[in-house]
């Protein structure tokens, strides 16, 4: 592989104009496709194999239109203290809202509006009423005029002294990342300038990463409606694509500068950089892709699409690093050369053989080698303490109750809860596949259950062979009592009685996430273990890598629980409302963090493996690996943390939570696991770390990540007949 990548990198360097033109053309093509495509929707949500999904499928079949994906809105009106919404004045204002929605701007997108006085949507004490509006398109597809009309619908009533708030998904808007993303990129730029001591060299990884992300995200936007991608898919692809794109280009450029410092010609340096560091980029990218594509094992279409979209962006980042980076290096000329004595962070740019002072990575590695047990215990115990909150993890899907208290959605949620009871925000829908007699029997049984406030009479379809019963729980949707009620209804019913609704979907989704976590871990960790065994020709090194990852991801989950569920330091991270952790968060973090953690493992330990193969003792090989890779890995980790942390300022809770979780996980994995625990374990294992049974060594193909075969090829090219062999190697 190293030899092939050497040819690829050298060829891209020499044909820089063609390579750059192809990538720019691809960027414009993807951009044109995104600009001409329809706006992305919120994406359909389904959970195959669950009872809630079966009930929705039955509804779609027996009650056409009832399970439609159109947006909904609830305009909640509360009368002033001492008044009722049934009084003539407030009632007239409420009916003005109803007529305004039916005849005002955006009425063409409304399929129905329910008058609260006719629909019996008035609280028992008469203080609160709500208007239900149904739209024929999703919240993301609503026109701005329609959304504005909804927002302004209660202005007259508010002027008359009524409290009007709006809930539902009709006000849904595309998530905004705010200025945090820009700050993250700015931090990445500063780190790159400090690392390289050159604006041109620092700008190159940023430029190529932005080109790769532009192609990936534009492609996702262009295909969003065709593939039914959710509105957060592009945001998550941007987050991951930026981080890995900058890091992969950073590793290639760093190795290129190191080769130049050894006195090589520029095209030769580019070929060797791609042949060596590029091999690590390929395998690091493969681990990320495996982790993201492996999300398909959960069998939730939305999560699968998110994983595949992000994986596609990672593949583009790898291809950009292998081809576009050497092409732009050719354009940059001598402006990316080591900066000599002015570059304090890049070996001072001294030529090979010159006396060099031990850098920070070397000094740190020697410290760990002197005290491996102390460093190992400190790292493991520290992460173990941070991981403790993960034992109290509560999962759920967000609803309007998770919104900040300042939003109209949250205030509408609270008004409904106060006027109609906590369970009114999460009604259960019971679908009966049978006649009226079975439906009546089911309704009577549910009325006798604890935790039920109200049960509506069964609503039969036209054929009379199916019915829908609405059940109002006593407790809020996310409470354990409501979950127990759902299970109680299901356990006491046969296969012809199904429970669904948003609350039941939430419960089923969380259960599916829990059930899929261990199989997903086994699949992803198993495949990556085999991949790392190919890279390092060892059993204990991949095992150590996997165990270290598990420690860092559990610690990161502990931090997420402490901040987003318990509210510790919540104000620092902009968490206005605590609540359960999003159900997909643990498994998504496992997938993404595992891939990213293996990046650092590959980049750091590959140098150690290279030194060990060339005869260095295990301890010295660890020092050599840190001498050449530690600063670059630290810079890459800081960049990735900055990019992920930039998404903490997002308006959508899921993006905010994932940005925080990934940033913390990368911090733990890069600085505690890879920079401390890994060298400590390798120091304790010694030669055993690189042991591989001879029979297994014969079975495994040699992928030559450390570039040994490339080195032999290049050395043979320097023999008397070398020029012919060199031409054959380059032109093959």
Tell me: the pLDDT tens digits for 230-259? 666 777 788 788 878 888 998 898 888 888
Give the relative orientation of helices 540-560 and 372-387 as an angle to the nearest 10 degrees: 40
Q: What is the pLDDT at residue 603?
A: 79
Q: How far apart are CA 341 and CA 42, in angstroms?
A: 54
Q: How far apart are CA 189 and CA 204, in angstroms?
A: 10
Q: Can you tell me which residue has the tokens 């993890």?
A: 393
Confidence band of 730 (pLDDT split at 50, 70, 90): very low
Q: What is the pLDDT at residue 220?
A: 83
**Residue 723 predicted with pLDDT over 60:** no
Q: How far apart are CA 380 and CA 307, in angstroms?
A: 30
- Mean pLDDT, to the nearest integer, of 651-656? 74
**pLDDT tens-digit readout, 27-69:** 999 888 888 876 655 555 678 888 888 988 888 888 876 655 6
**Residue 432 predicted with pLDDT over 60:** yes
Q: Which residue has the higher pLDDT, 390 or 591?
A: 390
Residue 285: strand, helix, or coil: helix
CB atoms within 10 A of CB 70: 19
503 and 426 in contact (C-beta within 8 Å)?
yes
**pLDDT tens-digit readout, 514-572:** 888 888 888 878 887 888 888 788 899 888 888 888 899 899 999 999 999 898 988 88
**pLDDT tens-digit readout, 657-682:** 888 998 999 899 999 999 999 999 99
- Mean pLDDT, to the nearest integer, of 260-266? 83
**Residue 428 predicted with pLDDT over 50:** yes
709 and 2 in contact (C-beta within 8 Å)?
yes
Q: How far apart are CA 586 and CA 227, in angstroms?
A: 25
CB atoms within 10 A of CB 61: 12
Confidence band of 725 (pLDDT split at 50, 70, 90): very low
Q: Is 726 exposed, middle or buried (0-12, 13-18, 19+ CB in 10 A)?
A: middle
Edge-to-edge strand ranges of the sheet holding 163-167: 110-114, 128-135, 72-78, 163-167
Q: Can you tell me which residue has the tokens 């297994």?
A: 696
Partners of residue 460 on adjacent β-strands: 467
- Mean pLDDT, to the nearest integer, of 173-192? 70
**Residue 729 predicted with pLDDT over 70:** no
Q: How far apart are CA 190 and CA 181, in angstroms?
A: 14
Containing 467, the helix (H) or strand (E) segment is: strand 467-473
Q: What is the pLDDT at residue 307?
A: 86
Containing 226, the helix (H) or strand (E) segment is: helix 199-227
34: CB partners within 8 A, 6+ apart? 217, 218, 219, 221, 222
CB atoms within 10 A of CB 173: 13
- Give the C-alpha distances (Å, rounded to integers) separating 127 from 152, 155, 253, 424: 22, 19, 67, 15
Q: How far apart are CA 463 and CA 644, in angstroms?
A: 54
Confidence band of 715 (pLDDT split at 50, 70, 90): low
Tokens found for residue 566: 């318990």
Q: How far apart are CA 128 and CA 420, in angstroms?
A: 8
Mean pLDDT of the chain: 83
Rg (CA), the chain: 30
Share of the chain above pLDDT 90, in %: 26
Tokens found for residue 343: 């570059």
Q: How far apart are CA 563 and CA 568, in angstroms?
A: 5
Query: What is the DSSP annotation of 140-208?
Result: GGS-HHHHHHHHHTTHHHHHTT-EEEEESGGG------TTHHHHHHHHHHHHHHHHHS-HHHHHHHHHH
DSSP state, residue 674: I
Q: Which residue has the higher pLDDT, 357 or 23?
A: 23
Tokens found for residue 161: 């002294």
DSSP state, residue 296: G
Best CA proximity match to 562, nearest among 384, 383, 392, 389: 389
Tokens found for residue 641: 């943390």
Containing 431, the helix (H) or strand (E) segment is: strand 428-432
Q: Which residue has the higher pLDDT, 306 or 415?
A: 415
Does the predicted TM-score (pTM) go above 0.75?
A: yes
305 and 229 in contact (C-beta within 8 Å)?
yes
DSSP state, residue 386: H
Count how many residues are written for the chain.
732
Q: Can you tell me which residue has the tokens 């809860």?
A: 417
648 and 176 in contact (C-beta within 8 Å)?
no
Name the least confident of 347-361, 509-523, 595-609.
Answer: 347-361
- Mean pLDDT, to the nearest integer, of 123-135? 90
207 and 185 in contact (C-beta within 8 Å)?
no
552 and 383 in contact (C-beta within 8 Å)?
yes
Best CA proximity match to 30, nearest among 312, 230, 286, 288: 312
373: CB partners within 8 A, 6+ apart? 680, 684
Q: What is the pLDDT at residue 68?
A: 58
């Amino acid at each position: 592989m190293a030899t092939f990548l050497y040819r690829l990198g050298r060829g891209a360097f020499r044909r820089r104009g063609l390579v750059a033109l192809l990538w720019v053309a691809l960027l414009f093509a993807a951009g044109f496709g995104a600009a001409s495509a329809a706006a992305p929707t919120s994406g359909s949500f389904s959970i195959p194999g669950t009872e809630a999904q079966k009930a929705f499928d039955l509804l779609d079949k027996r009650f056409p239109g009832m399970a439609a994906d159109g947006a909904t809105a609830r305009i909640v009106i509360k009368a002033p203290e001492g008044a009722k919404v049934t009084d003539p004045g407030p009632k007239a204002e409420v009916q003005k809202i109803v007529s305004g929605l039916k005849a005002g701007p955006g009425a063409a997108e409304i399929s129905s509006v329910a008058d609260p006085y006719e629909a019996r949507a008035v609280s028992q004490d008469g203080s609160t009423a709500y208007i239900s509006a149904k739209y024929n398109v999703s919240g993301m597809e609503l026109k701005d005029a329609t959304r504005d009309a909804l927002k302004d619908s209660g202005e007259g009533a508010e002027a008359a002294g009524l409290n009007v708030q709006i809930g539902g998904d009709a006000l849904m808007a595309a998530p905004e990342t705010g200025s945090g993303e820009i700050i993250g990129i700015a931090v990445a730029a500063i780190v790159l300038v400090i690392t390289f001591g050159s604006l041109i060299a620092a700008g190159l990884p940023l430029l190529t990463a932005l080109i790769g992300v532009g192609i990936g995200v534009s492609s996702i936007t262009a295909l969003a409606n065709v593939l039914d991608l959710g509105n957060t898919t592009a945001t998550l692809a941007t987050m991951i694509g930026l981080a890995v794109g900058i890091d992969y280009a950073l590793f290639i450029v760093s190795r290129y500068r190191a080769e130049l410092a050894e006195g090589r010609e520029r095209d030769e340096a580019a070929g060797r950089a791609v042949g060596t560091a590029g091999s690590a980029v390929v395998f690091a990218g493969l681990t990320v892709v495996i982790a993201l594509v492996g999300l398909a094992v959960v069998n939730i279409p939305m999560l699968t699409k998110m994983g595949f979209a992000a994986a596609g962006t990672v593949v583009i980042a790898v291809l950009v690093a292998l081809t576009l980076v050497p092409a732009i290096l050719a354009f940059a000329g001598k402006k990316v050369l080591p900066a000599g004595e002015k570059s304090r962070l890049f070996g001072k740019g001294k030529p090979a053989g010159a006396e060099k002072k031990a850098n920070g990575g070397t000094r740190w590695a020697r410290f760990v080698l002197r005290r491996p047990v102390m460093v190992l215990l400190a790292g493991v115990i520290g992460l173990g303490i941070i991981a403790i909150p993960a034992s109290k993890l509560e999962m759920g899907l967000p609803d309007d109750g998770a919104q900040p208290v300042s939003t109209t959605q949250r205030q509408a949620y609270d008004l409904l809860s106060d006027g109609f009871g906590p369970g009114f925000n999460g009604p259960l829908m019971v679908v009966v596949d049978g006649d009226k007699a079975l439906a009546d029997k089911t309704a009577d049984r549910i009325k006798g259950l604890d935790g039920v406030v109200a049960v509506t009479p069964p609503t039969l379809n036209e054929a009379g062979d199916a019915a829908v019963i609405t059940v109002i729980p006593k407790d809020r949707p996310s409470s354990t009592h409501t979950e127990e009620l759902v299970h109680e209804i299901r356990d006491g019913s046969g296969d012809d009685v199904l429970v669904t609704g948003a609350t039941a979907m939430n419960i089923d989704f969380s259960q599916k996430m829990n059930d899929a976590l261990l199989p997903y871990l086994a699949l992803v960790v198993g495949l990556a273990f085999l991949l790392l065994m190919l890279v390092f020709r060892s059993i204990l090194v991949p095992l150590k890598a996997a165990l270290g990852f598990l420690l860092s991801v559990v610690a990161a989950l502990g931090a997420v629980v402490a901040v987003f569920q318990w509210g510790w330091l919540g104000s620092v991270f902009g968490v206005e409302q605590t609540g359960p952790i999003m159900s997909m968060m643990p498994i998504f973090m496992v997938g993404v963090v595992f891939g990213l953690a293996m990046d650092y493992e590959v980049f750091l330990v590959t140098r150690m493996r290279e030194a060990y193969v060339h005869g260095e003792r295990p301890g010295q090989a660890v020092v050599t690996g840190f001498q050449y890779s530690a600063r670059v890995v630290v810079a890459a980790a800081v960049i990735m943390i900055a990019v992920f942390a930039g998404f903490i300022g997002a308006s959508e809770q899921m993006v905010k939570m994932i940005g925080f979780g990934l940033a913390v996980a990368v911090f733990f994995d890069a600085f505690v696991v890879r920079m401390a625990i890994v060298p400590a374990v390798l120091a304790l294992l010694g030669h055993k770390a690189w042991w591989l049974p001879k029979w297994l060594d014969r079975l495994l193909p040699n992928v030559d990540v450390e570039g040994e075969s490339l080195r032999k090829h290049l050395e043979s090219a320097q023999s008397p007949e070398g020029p012919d062999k060199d031409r054959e190697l380059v032109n093959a």
